[in-house]
Structure 1
């Protein structure tokens, strides 16, 4: 599976409630050392947006002008981070998680690195 195939898939929590859609995939470069002398990338988690928009604008966190951030949040709704180890199943159109919507962390609380 290619990572871009995850984009737009609907995400459902452990209770079967729809959380939103996959808008992005978070990668971390901490894998084994490759021939290129760089570390391999691994999937760390998914960025899930409440509304059907699947594009992020860079203002989902507490950065940028206040008015612009409010407009982006009005369009996207809530934006959450879903750790990869909480993904239970991936089907043709959906991602199912072992956690509940209330247990997910808002993206804006995540450390930026």
Structure 2
């Protein structure tokens, strides 16, 4: 599966409730050293958006004017980070997680890097 195929997948929590949709994939460059002298990328987690938008605007976090951030949040609803270790199963159009909605961290609380 290609990473872009995950975009738009529904995310279902441990209780069977729909959390939203996958809007982005978070990668970390800490894998083995490649021939290009850079570290390989690995999937660290998924960005889940309540209103199933497949496009993020860049204002979901701590950046930009307050008014613009509020408008974006009103359109997107909740935006959460789902660690890859908590992804239970990926099927056609659905990602199932072992987490519950209350266990997920809001994206805006994550460190900026």
The TM-score, its normalising length taken from structure 2, stands at 0.99
Which residue does the alignment assign to 1:4?
4
Aligned length: 113
- Give the deviation of 1:91 after TM superposition: 0.3
The structure carrying a bigger strand percent of its residues is 1
5 Å matches for 1:1-113? 1-113=1-113
TM-score, scaled relative to structure 1: 0.99
User: Aligned-pair RMSD on alpha carbons?
Assistant: 0.5
Distance 1:30 1:62 in 2: 25
Q: Give the unaligned 5+ runs of structure 1.
A: none
Gaps of 5+ in 2: none
Ranges of 4+ aligned residues in structure 1 off by more than 3 Å: none
